[in-house]
Structure 1
């Protein structure tokens, strides 16, 4: 149990959980933008077509013994809508990460760089220093 607690409390796991929750909420926002803002004008441009309603009827609905048998359809419009949602979400996340990266790089550039450590003395300098110290001791 202690090992699981240590695993669950690691920063990476908690960060990932927060990311998944925020990503789900972000996906809903983008899906709403796509469905409610972007797709209606596109549908208007292509003749008022609602993409989610597009389908190929492979076998029409029919009545057999007073019971209706549903049509067999290939719902490619829903696939187009989901693909469009994915592309917009992926592009939005790409732009967000690009913005975060740019802000992070800007902060790193603004932070003063630590002065470099002085280089270690060469072997010759060490040897000359020892000789100087020995000569000082003789006097």
Structure 2
């Protein structure tokens, strides 16, 4: 296969598209979480700690050549050419991460709870010995075990997990069993 066709089959896989959608939604969600931290949580927390912004917390490692310290803000220190360790910005980012992780955890927990409720409601109990996927007998791609049609080649797989062997009547190059030619010499 050529490089272009390999890339095309990789890029158009369902998992990659799902990943791209998840990444886009995650980026938008991160923006909302960052706003929650910066605009809603940090001001009251800053009032309790005596300052309105965590991002102004820093350690001065080396004074700048432009002006000697101390500096009121990180921006003033950076304008003077000072070297700073910005632990306040790091703490803000850690808080943002924890909020995003908590929100994702809550969403996943709600989805799992809803999934269990649907399974309980409709009697869909999963047998632990049943595999999640099987290979299509025609195109050899993995499909869900309970699928009745292959999502890749659209072959009929049956209703109870489908045949694991191709149907002789549909296999190219092999005549169907009921229309086989009689043996010669009869």
Per the normalisation by structure 1, the TM-score is: 0.72
Q: How many residues align?
A: 111
Q: Which has the larger radius of gyration?
A: 1
Question: What are the ranges of 5 or more consecutive residues in structure 2 without an aligned counterpart?
Answer: 68-78, 126-186
Rounded Cα–Cα distance in structure 2 between residues aligned with 1:89 and 1:97: 12
Answer yes or no: is the 8 Å Cα contact 2:34–2:96 preserved in 1: yes
Over the aligned positions, Cα root-mean-square deviation in angstroms equals: 2.0
Per the normalisation by structure 2, the TM-score is: 0.55
Instruction: Give 1:60-99 correspondences, 5 Å limit.
Output: 60-63=63-66, 70-99=81-110
Answer yes or no: is the 8 Å Cα contact 2:54–2:91 preserved in 1: yes
Rounded Cα–Cα distance in structure 2 between residues aligned with 1:107 and 1:71: 59
Report the equivalent of 1:27. 30
Question: What are the ranges of 5 or more consecutive residues in structure 1 without an aligned counterpart?
Answer: 115-139
Cα pair distance change 1:43/1:17, threshold 3 Å: same
Rounded Cα–Cα distance in structure 2 between residues aligned with 1:75 and 1:89: 22
Q: 2:44 aligns with which of 41, 46, 51?
A: 41
Question: Is the helix fraction higher in 1 or 2?
Answer: 1
Runs of 4+ in 1 over 6 A off after TM superposition: none
